[in-house]
Structure formats: C-alpha cells, structure tokens
Chains A and B, each alone.
Chain A
Amino acid sequence: MRKRLLAWLLVLLVAPFAAGAREAPPVGEDPVIERRMMALSEELRCLVCQNQTLADSHADLAADLRQEIRELMQKGQSDEQVKRYLVARYGDFVLYRPPLKSTTWLLWFGPGVLLVGGLTALYLVLLKRRRLLAAEPLDADQERRALALLSEDEGQPS
C-alpha cells in the first residue's frame, strides 16, 4: 500500500518535467520516404562538418538538405536522381563512396597496385636469395667435415 503511494507521488513529481520535454523535430508524414531519406543521407557527406554524414549532422545546411531530399523523394525521384542533384551542386565530395573515373583511379587502384608491387618485390628478393644459396657449393674440406658431423650424429641414439 505504502509502496504504491510512493510510486504515485513519484509520477506526480516527474509529470511536469515530462510535459515540458522537447518534442522530436517533425518528421515527414510518410514513413517510407523518411526511411529512404535517412538511408540515403547515411551515404552523403555534410559539407559543413565534413566528417559527419548528412544523417548525423546538426548543421543548419544538413537539415535543409535533408528536407530537400525528402521533397525530391516525394516528387518521385529515385535515390540515384537525388544523388545526381546533390553532386551537380556540391560535387563528388558529398558522396562517401567516390565514383570510379579518371581522377579517382589512384584512389581506387593505388592500394591494390601497392600490394601487388610489394608482393612482387618480395617474391623476386626471395628467388634471388635462393639462387645465391644454391650457387655456393661446398669445397672438399667442408664436405668432409659435414659428412663427419652427419655420421657422428647417426651413431648416437637420439
């Protein structure tokens, strides 16, 4: 009985604060578009705070652009069209996944070229070493000593 009273008191105490809490900013009416907009803006860079996505950023411009994307989607534009709309205004920089073209070849293929180049260099060095080892046969004296050591080893129980 007392516990229940306490609980009610607590509710009464907290209620005014809950009423004063800020509401989430209004989202578009259409949950499908809202989901598409958020998914797409995860892949787009905010130009104001450049290490954040449009979805994450609190910058004014990011909010405006999310609204713009929402409206373009309501007009029936595809994700690809929305991306093209933004790239036309802000450049490839808005895309977190840069497109493959002549100016981005180094970006896309550089790491692969480095890896292949490194592996080739390693292979060549190892090959050369093996050839060096093989190219140095033992002379007669060394051979006798080696044989002696080997036979000595054989004589003992291991």
Chain B
Amino acid sequence: MRYLRFLIPLAAFAVLTGFLMKGLWMDPHTVPSPLIDKPAPAFRLTQVADAGKSIGRDDMLGKVWLLNVWASWCVSCREEHPVLVEFAKTGVVPIYGLDYKDTRDEALKWLDRLGNPYQASLFDPDGRVGIDYGVYGVPETYVIDKTGTIRYKQIGPITPEILHDRIVPLLRKLNA
C-alpha cells in the first residue's frame, strides 16, 4: 500500500512517455485517409497521351492496380519516379498515373525524359478527381483491388522499402 503513492505517478509518467514516444515516430503530414476499404471514387478522364481516349473507374474492375498521382511540377515525384520505373519492369501490377493539375505538354516531356512506368496516365488538369480521392500532397499512391475498393494509400514518395514491406505483400494477398 505504501508503494502505491510512488507507483501511481510512475505509471502516469510511463503512459505519458508512451504517448510522446509514439508521437516521435509519427509523421504529422500523413493523415490517415477515410477512403481505405471504401469504393474508389468514380471518374472518367482522358489520357495524357491521347485526348481522344478516356478511362473510367469501372474499366479497371477485375484487376488489382496502382493509381499513382504525379505531376511534372512535383519535386518529390522526381525522387519517386525511378523506383516506379524499376517496379513497372517487374510486371507485378499495372500502374496507372493520375497527372494532377498539369499540362499535357509538360507531362509528356517529363515522361519522355524520365521514362514511363504507366499503362496510361489520366489527365486531371483542374484537380477535381484529385479532390475526390483526397489528394493533398503529390505524389500519392493508391492500391485498388479487383472490386474497385481502395486497400492502401501511400502519401509521399514510394521507396523501395515501402514497396518491399507493404505494397508487394499486399498485392500478393489481393491477387491470391
């Protein structure tokens, strides 16, 4: 009973430290998306490479795919791009781009220069589809399953570690 008066503050301190420790490892810029495990928002957009061809959400049903939000003006996308180009070569999953608030000219030049990992890039010049997907910091990447449900969202550049630890295992599970 006598120890209690020391144990209670000690326990309170431990709890507080626990919260603060957790806070240290969290990135305040990564806001959990409410769209996880929800149906991907509908869209129909023309392709960057061909204004005459369009792709919609429902065209993608039946396959697991990645939607990568990028833009030619986005600095972190440049950092991420080689990772995507390499990953696309493995053919594990089709990657589609969402070219966010960009111009066709700049986007095509960018893909020419840095390589094109995308099956196709969707052209979203006014960022409307971006808003529907809750995009707030490019690059962002969504893993969408066969039923058109969002299963994972990566905010910020994809790194080889994230691919290896999170995305590839998830894809394996979704494709099983």
Contacts and interface: CB of A to CB of B under 8 A. Distances in A.
Say what secondary structure dominates the interface of chain B: loop
B136 A91 contact: no
Nearest to B132: A89
Contacts of A61: 127, 136
A91 B33 contact: yes
A149 interface: no
A47 B32 contact: no
Interface residues of B, number: 16
List the 9 shortest-distance A-B pairs measured between CB atoms, nearest first.
A47-B136, A89-B134, A91-B34, A93-B31, A90-B134, A64-B127, A61-B136, A91-B31, A48-B136
Given A60-B101, A68-B131, A91 B32 contact: yes
Given A48-B136, A68-B131, 9 more contacts: A47-B137, A64-B126, A89-B131, A90-B31, A90-B33, A90-B34, A90-B134, A91-B32, A91-B33
A50 interface: yes
Contacts of A92: 34
A91 B28 contact: no
Contacts of B83: none
A93 B28 CA distance: 11
Given A48-B136, A50-B28, A90-B136, A64 B131 contact: yes
Nearest to B38: A88
A3 to B, nearest CB: 54
A64 B33 CA distance: 19
